[in-house]
Structure 1
């Protein structure tokens, strides 16, 4: 049938053992990768939902808010906490800086933040 195989039983048995060993190694690697993918999928499914708004906190006594971000903004620092929409609007109108990357003031429909002005649009 296959002319490239050795003609004697000893070498054929050796090849069979060698291939069985490699199949076992391959099967072990496949099982490990499948387990890792299942764990990653479970992690994706169990990930907490991203907040709509976050406030970046400063360093020091009381950790004052320093910047408001849209949830998921890549520029938000590590010291942050989620805030509801109303608090994000309140912080922005009270003088806390709006992120220049995600522009939460635009997303919250606050038209003018200059000189501590009040909300320029009606709250939703």
Structure 2
């Protein structure tokens, strides 16, 4: 049984130390991965809910609003601000265009602004 190990005590002790160092190294890596996974899970649990509605902002002076999006729309770009339901309805009713991908006008039941409903 296990005849491939060295026959003398000095080399066996050297192998034991070497393997103990590797086990310690592996244990440190496992602990680091467990800490990182726990941090990621805490981050997922503590992440704020996405806004219900977004207004995409233009560039330049005053950054005027240019389009209304649903809060989960990927087409909103990086320049946007969250708005409430009533402000989104007011902006759409005031003539601000709705995103053609997420259709906030249809989600807000503003069918008179919905081009598909007019057809």
Partners of 1:107 and 1:4 in 2: how far apart? 72
Distance 2:32 2:19 in 1: 20
Residue in 2 aligned with 1:107? 107
Contiguous gaps of at least 5 residues in structure 2: 115-119
> TM-score, normalized by length of structure 2?
0.89
Q: Distance in 1 between matches of 2:72 and 2:21?
A: 48
Q: Distance in 1 between matches of 2:106 and 2:11?
A: 75
The answer to whether the aligner puts 1:85 opposite 2:80 as a matched pair is: no
Q: CA deviation at 1:71?
A: 0.5
RMSD: 1.3
- Provide the TM-score with structure 1 as the length reference: 0.85
Per-residue deviation, 1:113: 1.9
* Count of aligned residue pairs for this structure pair: 114
* Long gaps (5+) in structure 1: 115-124
Runs of 4+ in 1 over 4 A off after TM superposition: none
Deviation at 1:110, TM superposition (A): 1.3
Looking at secondary structure, tell me which structure has more helix per residue. Answer: 2
